[in-house]
């Protein structure tokens, strides 16, 4: 009986029933799989991406009802706080935010330019600041709410031609640590996950734009457990949003198949 009680407690600590969680980048990849995972755990999900048609398609794959879609361009950083508060005014306070949306830059330093870097930083990093600025307000979040950002193994271990992307993902790790300390008084936990290379649309776009099949195979071989799947990352994000992780803040959860060992 005691073992069964402990098992029930463990299951309940992952239950997200009655909670509302906003997920950016929800129309594809890790963001979409995270939205699916959260819905399976009982959450109502607010799916955010730029393409409304793809958002409708994504929402149709979720479990349960009451999910919402929000078409928004996160590069419009200055508009994010008011936009988020408008969602709160309609749906009520949120229990969590997952910032999964992100841009990738794969280019050698000889081709670097400030404009492309600024565009990438707006979505990958500045949006974290803007979302947090709005979310920390009392009207925007419920008690013991949680923020989860997506960093990357590239922010821990360098790769040739990925300086801009790596810099943005390393910034998220530092941002997470500082915000976790600053926002504890607001009842907010702040964590991030750092995935390795995950099979899916982001990897396919890398193949089409820059990387050859041989280069992709080389990256795959650097992951002792092989390439991951979006669900591997979604499971970790869901954990960081649930009561099971109530004593965790300011951490970077590395999910990389051993890539950064």
pLDDT in tens, 38-62: 999 999 999 999 999 999 999 999 9
- Does the residue 173 lie in any domain? yes
Residue 71 in domain: yes
Domain of residue 138 covers 12-254
Residue 2 lies in a domain: no
Q: pLDDT band for 5, please (50, 70, 90 cuts).
A: very low
Express each pLDDT in 117-176 by its tens digit. Answer: 999 999 999 999 999 999 999 999 999 999 999 999 999 998 889 999 999 999 999 999
Residue 20 inside a domain? The answer is: yes
At 13, give phi and psi (nearest 5°).
-70, -15
If one counts every other C-beta atom within 10 angstroms of the C-beta of residue 215, the result is 14
Q: Do you know the residue count of the chain?
A: 261
Class of residue 94 by CB neighbours under 10 A (exposed 0-12, middle 13-18, buried 19+): buried
Active site residue 126: no
Res 101 pLDDT > 80:
yes
Domain-located, residue 259: no
Structural domain count, the chain: 1
User: Whole-angstrom Cα distance, residue 67 to residue 45?
Assistant: 5
Q: Is residue 260 part of a domain?
A: no
- Asked whether the beta carbons of 127 and 24 are under 8 A apart, the reply is yes
Of 126, 165, 239, 259, which one is the catalytic site residue? 165
The model's pTM: 0.93
Q: CATH number, domain at 239?
A: 3.40.50.720
Asked, for residue 6, whether it belongs to a domain, the answer is: no
Whether residue 134 lies inside any domain: the answer is: yes
- Are the C-beta atoms of 200 and 168 separated by less than 8 Å? no
Instruction: Please tell me the distance from the alpha carbon of residue 185 to that of residue 200, in angstroms, as a whole number.
Output: 38
């Amino acid at each position: 009986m005691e073992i069964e009680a402990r098992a029930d407690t463990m299951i309940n600590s992952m239950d997200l029933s009655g909670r509302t969680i906003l997920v950016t980048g929800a129309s594809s990849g890790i963001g979409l799989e995270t939205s699916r995972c959260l819905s399976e755990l009982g959450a109502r999900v607010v799916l955010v991406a730029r393409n409304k048609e793809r958002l409708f398609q994504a929402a149709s794959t979720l479990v349960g009802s009451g999910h919402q879609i929000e078409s928004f361009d996160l590069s419009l950083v200055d508009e994010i706080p008011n936009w988020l508060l408008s969602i709160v005014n309609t749906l009520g306070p949120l229990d969590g935010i997952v910032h999964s949306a992100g841009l990738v830059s794969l280019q050698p330093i000889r081709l670097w330019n400030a404009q492309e870097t600024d565009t990438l930083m707006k979505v990958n990093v500045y949006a974290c600041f803007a979302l947090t600025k709005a979310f920390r307000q009392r009207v925007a979040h419920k008690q013991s709410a949680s923020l989860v950002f997506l960093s990357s193994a590239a922010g821990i271990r360098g790769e040739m031609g990925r300086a801009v992307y790596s810099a943005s993902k390393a910034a998220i790790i530092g941002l997470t640590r500082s915000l976790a300390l600053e926002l504890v008084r607001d009842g907010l936990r702040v964590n991030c996950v750092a995935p390795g290379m995950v099979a899916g649309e982001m990897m396919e776009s890398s193949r089409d734009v820059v990387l050859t099949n041989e280069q992709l195979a080389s990256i795959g071989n650097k992951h002792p457990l092989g390439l991951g799947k979006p669900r591997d990352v979604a499971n970790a994000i869901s954990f960081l949003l649930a009561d099971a992780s109530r004593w965790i803040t300011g951490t970077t959860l590395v999910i990389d198949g051993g890539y950064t060992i």
